Structure 1
Amino acid sequence: MQEVVPIITTSGTPQNTRVLNALSAKDSSVRLQAALAVGSNPDPTFLETLVERCAVEPDFFVRDMLSWALTRFAPEITLPRMRRELGSGRTQARSQALHTLSKIGDRSAWAWITRDMLRDTDDEVARTAWRVAVVLVPEDEEKDLADELVSQLGRGDRTVRLSLSRALVDLGDAAKAALEQAAADPDPVVAAHARATELLRRNPETGFDAAIDEAKRVVTLGPERAAAADAAETAPC
């Protein structure tokens, strides 16, 4: 049974009451339209309800629309509320607050992205933290961020590893040294993930799965034997 957030109306107009109630309707399409309506005509009286819905909303598309609606408010209203939500005990609340920060793109929020967030035990929170960190990081801190992200190589399933690789690729040259060092890690899973990410960094057109397969081959054979095998395959008969 879907959780319904109780609505406390702060505006007495019948239209606002209808919109607020629609944000917790059983039908996801109704909730989506309600979030769109709030964002199209932003009213700060809806702020707390939007934030609360973000923490419990089960539908991805509705959550994304809720975040969009929050970006429509003035940053001085939304940002302090997002900062408080980053400390929530609910994983979805933290993840969605991070997602909203990535959409707002205000670099003053960089200081709020902590190491604990980048290492959060919940994969969805960590993935969102990696994404927003890359968006907000100052140029002179990109290498430090790359070092921190590299410490998570080998973590999780394919989706988690792809998210991490994309974040490191987006850091560009700032991630090069950290990835090269990680490619020599004694853990073959970490080494392969590092090599695959470096392949993607050098050639973003390479598919992730193809990059992983090639990286595993190099880790298994060793760089010298893999290079020798490649040379043998391309040598003229």
Structure 2
Amino acid sequence: MTEPTTDTRTAQALRALEHADPSVRLNAALAVGTSPRPRSVGRLVERCAVEPEFYVREMLTWALTRHPAERTVPALVAELRSERAQARSQALHTLSKIGDGRAWPAVTPELLADADDEVARSAWRAAVALVPNGGRAALAVGLATQLGRGGRETRLSLSRALIGLGEAMLPALGAAATAPDPRVRTHALATERLWREPDAGFDLAVEEAKRVVALGPDGPGRREGR
């Protein structure tokens, strides 16, 4: 019996990405990534937009990273204009994993402020991964506009993104620490403490920041140097 060719096996794997069983879809994505073929890129990107299982989406992302960036980056950038939130979020996530700086201009302020929290969180991570060295301070200013947004996980994601920019984010945090909105001030102060004392943990940093905000700038809970 004649063994199927690599192209035949790839075609079978691409069809299996639609299978009802997520374990079959997982193995199909693994197979496509193991034997990268240019024609697979479009199908992988399309599947990322609709795949319901997180672990299968992660394998799809891995499969895309196995293909040349010259093919994957343009296809993923095009997805950033999709009306489907998962398509935007997964494309941003995959771009952050590929790490090709040519995608940087596509991570727009609109994506950083996307109404969907998952898209915004993916945009923050992608921006930090892709930003050129000279753009870190400006990115910090853009990210700081989102301080105080969402629930715990969203705020933690933003704090991690800002911390990933290093000292370049300190001026933006300093400005946010004097914002009229107490939620913004609290988040800014918590992020700064987490940067200076990473072992403190996010929840403890938030609790201390709340106390500082409640006491006001001249209260006894204010740390020296602020």
For the criterion TM > 0.5, the same-fold answer is yes
Does residue 37 of structure 1 match 2:45?
no
Following TM superposition, by how much is the alpha carbon of 1:167 offset from its aligned partner in structure 2, in angstroms? 0.3
In structure 1, the residue corresponding to 2:199 is in which secondary structure?
A: coil
Distance 1:100 1:146, change over 3 A: same
Partners of 1:217 and 1:226 within 8 A in 2: no
Residue of structure 1 in register with 2:79 after alignment: 85
Partner of 2:104: 110
Indicate whether 1:66 and 2:60 are aligned.
yes
Q: 1:195 aligns with which of 172, 177, 189?
A: 189
CA distance in 1, matches of 2:195, 2:13: 45
- Tell me the TM-score normalized by structure 1: 0.88
How far the C-alpha of 1:13 sits from its partner, in A, is 5.7
Cα separation, 2, equivalents of 1:53 and 1:209: 36
CA distance in 2, matches of 1:196, 1:208: 7
Task: Measure the CA separation in 2 of the matches of 1:192 and 1:226.
Answer: 16
Larger-gyration structure (1/2) = 1
Letter in 1 for 2:160: R
Residue aligning to 1:97: 91
Offset at residue 59 of structure 1 (A) = 0.6
Structure 1 segments of 4+ aligned residues over 6 angstroms from their partners:
none
The count of aligned residue pairs is 220
Which residue pairs with 1:134 in the alignment? 128
C-alpha separation between the residues in 1 aligned to 2:178 and 2:129? 28
Residue 135 of structure 2 corresponds to residue 162 of structure 1: no
In the superposition, the TM-score normalised over structure 2's length comes to 0.92
Instruction: Supply the distance in 2 between the matched residues of 1:81 and 1:17 (Cα, whole angstroms).
Output: 19
Name the residue aligned to 1:8. Answer: none
Partner Cα distance (1:80, 1:160) in 2: 28
RMSD, matched Cα: 1.8
Give, as a single letter, the amino acid of the residue that structure 2 aligns with 1:33.
N
* Equivalent position of 1:27 in the other structure: 21
Partner secondary structure for residue 147 of structure 2: coil
Q: Distance in 2 between matches of 1:188 and 1:174?
A: 23
The residue number in structure 1 matching 2:49 is 55
CA displacement at 1:44 relative to structure 2: 1.6
- Report the CA distance shift for 1:132/1:12 in structure 2 as closer, same or farther (over 3 A): closer
Shift of 1:94: 0.8
Q: 1:13 to 1:105 in 2, by over 3 A?
A: closer
Q: Equivalents in 2 of 1:145, 1:16: separation in Å?
A: 40
Structure 1, unpaired ranges of 5+: 1-10, 232-237
Q: CA deviation at 1:130?
A: 0.3
Identity %: 57
**Correspondence for 1:214:** 208
- Stretches of structure 2 lacking an aligned partner (at least 5 in a row): none
Q: Which residue of 2 aligns with 1:177?
A: 171
Superposed displacement of residue 227, structure 1: 3.5
Q: Could you tell me how far apart the structure 2 residues matched to 1:15 and 1:85 are?
A: 27
